[in-house]
Amino acid sequence: MQQQTSGQFRPMPMTPQQMQQMQQLQMQQMMQMQMMGRPNMNMPMNMPMNMMGMPMNMPVNMPMGLNMNMNMAMNMNMNMNMPHQQLQDKRGPAPQTESQSKRVKRPVDRSLPSKIDSFVPEAKLYAHLLAQEKKMDAAVSSKRLDLAESLAATPKLSRTLRIFVENSATSQPTFSASNNVDDLLDFSSDSTPSWTLKVYGFLLAPDKVYPEGATPAKLSTIMRAIQVKMARETSLYADGANSVEWRKNESKQKDFDAFEVTRKGDVDVSIKIALHIDSNPEKYKLSSELADIVDVKLDTKANVIMRLWQYIKMHGLQDAEDKRQINFDDTLTKMFKTKKVLLTHLPDLLSAHLHPIEPITIDYTIKVDKPRTVSPQAYDIQVEVEDVEIKAKISRVLEGSTPASIREIALIDDEITKLVQRVTQAKHKREFMLAFSKDPVEFINNWIASQTRDLEAILGGDPQLGVGGNRINIEEARRASFYKDNWVNEAVFHYLNSV
């Protein structure tokens, strides 16, 4: 609705009579469409309708003035004539709970609007900083992934594990200082003679000092299994079998420095301790024939395959026509008992020549003639352990981003986003005022035409509503290009800021 005054146009609000007339015309149009059995082509086909036949959630561009008044008037008039149940449906869904509101994420766009650098020179510097930040974030993320992968494959170091063996004895009759037989056989005491075997050890570090954040490996992390076999009469003791075994993959206790076994007894006992060293990846003992070929006695299966492949390439054993086939020489034929094999079957042939590594055995005799007995020998074993210093450094780097720092960065990003939105709004205001200052009359005419066009998009462009001039072509409104104009971006911007 327009009123011409002094050669210029200004928007005027609709009167209640005009709003009622507009609603009646709209209802008549909807009833005619339903009676004719065809949809209203003035509205998008996929727009949902309410009970009154009006489109719900109409896309409204509401810069100021005409559209705002028209939209408010339409809603007020419709709500007055709407039943109570329909009025509640019109209000939309219930308010979100606190947990649901926390899941709502606002769009994060920290890029300044285009062409702003023409009148704000600092915008180029901001864009450069934003690009550098993206490069830095990508570099840091890539480096963190590399560090995480290297942490999973920490290099191994050769260290010396020193093992000690000792035992203690309690309530033994030999502890009595009296030579009287009655004193030695004191049945009034509730204590039972027993002994405890203790096997413990530690790593010998080169500098004897571990870096901050690094701890030496425990005995349980180095061993895969520990077995203790006792040479004593089973019929004389009711406290279990003469063999005790601990396995890492079956035990809940996997972090200790000492292994202890307690049994009842008042006589010396010969025992055999078997230590199974753990290795990751697992190492095997090679057969004598295979060890002579690959020139190594202990190694992982992957390394053995690589060494054997180097032997095959060096002697030209790969078939000239079929590269998948290996023609064995006399040495390999004697070992594998075949003349040729497919390359994919080579690991299966190697399995017969890879044996578990024999455990390290220690012979020891339990002494019960004194409260504590320590073996005069210490046993040094060469083991491979993770480089705790490198592992500690990598862990500190990966744990550098604490939750507090992440929250602080998120707050700063939110503040930057708000500032960018304010800059974008200021740019729109500047463009609005600049266009008005250059040609006020032409600007007002174009603005009113734009508002009229938006109103016709809402009402379906019915010429009987008195909205003349720049009407919308129905075919144009049905095309996707119509919704790619600037008015869509502005409407989306205002909608997102109102969420």
What is the pLDDT, as a whole number, of residue 26? 56
Tokens of 53: 């036949």
Looking at per-residue confidence, does 68 or 354 come out higher?
354
How confident is the model over 76-101, as pLDDT tens digits? Answer: 344 434 444 443 444 444 444 444 44
Q: Is the pLDDT of residue 497 over 50?
A: yes
Let me know: does 84 contact 104? Beta carbons within 8 Å: no
> Alpha-carbon distance 89 to 50, whole Å?
9
Looking at per-residue confidence, does 423 or 189 come out higher?
423
Q: Which parts of 48-105 fold into alpha helices (H)?
A: 66-80, 84-90, 98-103
Q: Is the pLDDT of residue 73 over 70?
A: no
List the one residue out of 145, 222, 168 whose CA is nearest residue 383: 222
Let me know: does 335 contact 286? Beta carbons within 8 Å: no
> Alpha-carbon distance 298 to 316, whole Å?
26
Residues in the chain: 499
Let me know: does 231 contact 269? Beta carbons within 8 Å: yes
* DSSP bridge partners of 4: 9
In Å, what is the CA distance from 169 to each residue of 228, 262, 368? 17, 10, 5
Q: Which of 7-16, 127-136, 228-237 has the lowest mean pLDDT?
A: 7-16
What is the pLDDT, as a whole number, of residue 72? 38
Q: What are phi and psi of 236, to 5 degrees?
A: -90, -15
Which residues, other chains included, contact 224 with Cβ-Cβ below 8 Å and sequence gap of 6+?
A: 247, 248, 276, 277, 278, 279
Query: Same fold for the domain at 156-281+357-386 and the one at 288-352?
Result: no
Q: What are phi and psi of 350, to 5 degrees?
A: -70, -25
How confident is the model over 187-228, as pLDDT tens digits? Answer: 555 578 889 999 998 888 666 555 554 556 788 888 899 999
Let me know: does 388 contact 210? Beta carbons within 8 Å: yes
CATH class of 156-281+357-386: mainly beta
Which residues, other chains included, contact 251 with Cβ-Cβ below 8 Å and sequence gap of 6+?
A: none
DSSP-derived letter for residue 300 is: E
Count the helices and strands in the chain (H runs, E runs): 16, 16
Please report where in the chains the tokens 């026509």 appear, as a residue.
321
Let me know: does 151 contact 394? Beta carbons within 8 Å: yes
Which residues, other chains included, contact 37 with Cβ-Cβ below 8 Å and sequence gap of 6+?
A: none
Q: Between helices 486-498 and 403-438, what is the axis angle to 10°?
A: 140
List the one residue out of 42, 11, 29 whose CA is nearest residue 471: 42
Looking at per-residue confidence, does 126 or 395 come out higher?
126
Let me know: does 205 contact 216? Beta carbons within 8 Å: yes
What is the pLDDT, as a whole number, of residue 373? 92
- Residue 186, CB-side half-sphere exposure with 13 Å CA sphere: 17
> Alpha-carbon distance 452 to 469, whole Å?
8
What is the pLDDT, as a whole number, of residue 452? 78
In Å, what is the CA distance from 233 to each residue of 277, 287, 401? 30, 38, 61
pTM exceeds 0.85 for this model: no
What is the rounded average pLDDT of the residues 359-370?
92
Q: Is the pLDDT of residue 33 over 50?
A: no
β-strands 223-231, 269-277 pairing: antiparallel
What is the pLDDT, as a whole number, of residue 77? 40
What is the pLDDT, as a whole number, of residue 287? 92
List the one residue out of 302, 348, 338 whose CA is nearest residue 326: 338
Looking at per-residue confidence, does 74 or 309 come out higher?
309
Q: How much of the chain exceeds pLDDT 90, in percent?
A: 18
What is the pLDDT, as a whole number, of residue 457? 67
Q: Which of 307-311, 338-342, 437-441, 455-459 has the lowest mean pLDDT?
A: 455-459
Q: How confident is the model at residue 256 (pLDDT cuts 50, 70, 90)?
A: confident
In Å, what is the CA distance from 107 to each residue of 59, 133, 413? 19, 19, 12
Q: How confident is the model at residue 398 (pLDDT cuts 50, 70, 90)?
A: confident
CATH class of 288-352: mainly alpha
Domain boundaries of the chain, sorted by first residue: 156-281+357-386, 288-352
Give SS3 for 407.
helix
Let me know: does 172 contact 369? Beta carbons within 8 Å: yes
Let me know: does 231 contact 242? Beta carbons within 8 Å: yes
Which residues, other chains included, contact 128 with Cβ-Cβ below 8 Å and sequence gap of 6+?
A: none
Let me know: does 365 contact 270? Beta carbons within 8 Å: yes
What is the rounded average pLDDT of the residues 15-41?
51
